[in-house]
């Protein structure tokens, strides 16, 4: 396959950035998207051109670091897939592919396709954990959890914190991410004790990080590589209302 890439190049957060055109020649359709970028970078290095900077780690769709926008869609055209799982057979010979970083005020561009998504880390630090002093750790199998609650909690726990939901939302809202983290712990007995404090602190930190509000257009669910449901946003809103209205237990 021969492709034409239009790649966003930006030296740092202060640089205005621009799209640059690169050829991608003789690409194997069975390559992953990141493998294709590796091949292109090898060619750029041979020409003494600065290689395209992008993030990756697991290359198995479980870490979320490969986040980038492909032809206007976070993580690319295949639903329920991260960039590292996207294969070049999803494109056609002669295609032009536009590759850009995630766009959001809370995700400043560090270099080329790499963005600083540490805002998500600070939201987790605000309450996305269980800190109750329970003494000795009981056997997990000894804690009864209803099957429905367990399955719903696991659905929420699939969130890998990639930020595609933010990139897809016209308001750069992080509510799908936050709602998944809030719901995962609130549904389990281990996290229920801190549920009110948790949702108030996490939503407060989300607002402090300059993420926008949700307008219920479901772009976030459409691009989420783990297909997290927007129903968790409704759950988080209920948790937040209860946390504001009802006193701490």
Whether residue 135 has pLDDT greater than 80: no
Whether residue 206 has pLDDT greater than 70: yes
Residue 69's nearest CA partner among 192, 164, 134, 206 is 164
Rounded CA-CA distance 32/91 in Å is: 11
Residue 108 near residue 115, CB atoms below 8 Å: yes
Residue 170's nearest CA partner among 232, 113, 214 is 214
Whether residue 75 has pLDDT greater than 90: yes
pLDDT band, residue 132 (cuts 50/70/90): low
pLDDT at 248: 63
pLDDT band, residue 141 (cuts 50/70/90): confident
Residue 172 near residue 106, CB atoms below 8 Å: yes
Whether residue 140 has pLDDT greater than 90: no
pLDDT at 99: 98
- The β-bridge relationship of strands 69-70 and 114-115 is unpaired
Whether residue 108 has pLDDT greater than 90: yes
Whether residue 78 has pLDDT greater than 90: yes
CA atoms within 13 A on the CB side of 24: 32
Domains in the chain (CATH in brackets) are 3-111 (3.10.20.30), 118-245 (1.10.1060.10)
pLDDT band, residue 137 (cuts 50/70/90): low
Query: What's the average model confidence in pLDDT over 135-141?
Result: 68
Whether residue 122 has pLDDT greater than 70: yes
- For 39, counting Cβ atoms within 10 Å of its Cβ (0-12 exposed, 13-18 middle, 19+ buried), the class is middle
- The β-bridge relationship of strands 96-100 and 73-74 is unpaired
Residues in the chain: 249
Residue-wise pLDDT for 19-59, tens only, equals 999 999 999 999 999 999 999 999 999 999 999 999 999 99
| DSSP secondary structure, 88-146, as one string | GGGS-TT-EEEEE----TTS-EEETTEE--HHHHHHHHTT-S-----SSPPPGGGS---
- The β-bridge relationship of strands 3-9 and 96-100 is parallel
Residue 194's nearest CA partner among 121, 122, 118, 134 is 134
Whether residue 247 has pLDDT greater than 80: no
Residue 232 near residue 191, CB atoms below 8 Å: no
pLDDT at 149: 93
Q: Which is higher by pLDDT, 140 or 13?
A: 13
Query: What's the average model confidence in pLDDT over 123-152?
Result: 83
pLDDT at 249: 53
| DSSP secondary structure, 23-52, as one string | EE-S--TTSBHHHHHHHHHHHHHHTT-PPP
pTM of the model: 0.92
pLDDT band, residue 207 (cuts 50/70/90): very high
% of the chain surpassing 70 pLDDT: 96
Residue 156's nearest CA partner among 128, 115, 117 is 128
Query: What's the average model confidence in pLDDT over 4-20?
Result: 95
Residue 175 near residue 233, CB atoms below 8 Å: yes
pLDDT at 133: 67
Residue-wise pLDDT for 83-96, tens only, equals 999 999 999 999 99
Whether residue 134 has pLDDT greater than 80: no
């Amino acid at each position: 396959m021969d492709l034409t890439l239009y790649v966003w190049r930006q030296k740092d957060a202060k640089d205005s950035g621009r799209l640059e055109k690169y050829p991608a020649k003789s690409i194997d359709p069975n390559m992953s998207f990141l493998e294709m970028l590796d091949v292109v970078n090898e060619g750029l290095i041979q020409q003494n051109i600065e290689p395209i900077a992008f993030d990756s780690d697991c290359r198995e769709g479980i870490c979320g670091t490969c986040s980038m926008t492909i032809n206007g869609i976070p993580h690319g055209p295949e639903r329920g897939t991260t960039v590292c799982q996207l294969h070049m057979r999803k494109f056609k010979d002669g295609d032009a592919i536009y590759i850009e970083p995630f766009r959001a005020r809370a995700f400043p561009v560090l270099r080329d396709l790499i963005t600083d998504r540490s805002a998500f880390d600070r939201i987790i630090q605000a309450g996305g954990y269980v800190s109750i002093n329970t003494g000795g750790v009981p056997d997990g199998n000894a804690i009864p959890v209803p099957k429905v609650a367990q399955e719903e909690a696991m659905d929420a726990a699939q969130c890998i914190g990639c930020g595609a939901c933010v990139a897809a939302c016209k308001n750069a809202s992080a509510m799908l991410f936050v709602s998944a983290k809030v719901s995962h712990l609130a549904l389990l007995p281990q996290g229920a004790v801190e549920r009110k404090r948790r949702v108030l602190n996490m939503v407060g930190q989300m607002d402090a990080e300059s993420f926008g509000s949700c307008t219920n257009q479901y772009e976030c669910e459409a691009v989420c590589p783990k297909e997290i449901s927007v129903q968790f946003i409704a759950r988080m809103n209920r948790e937040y209302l209860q946390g504001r209205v009802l006193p701490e237990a």
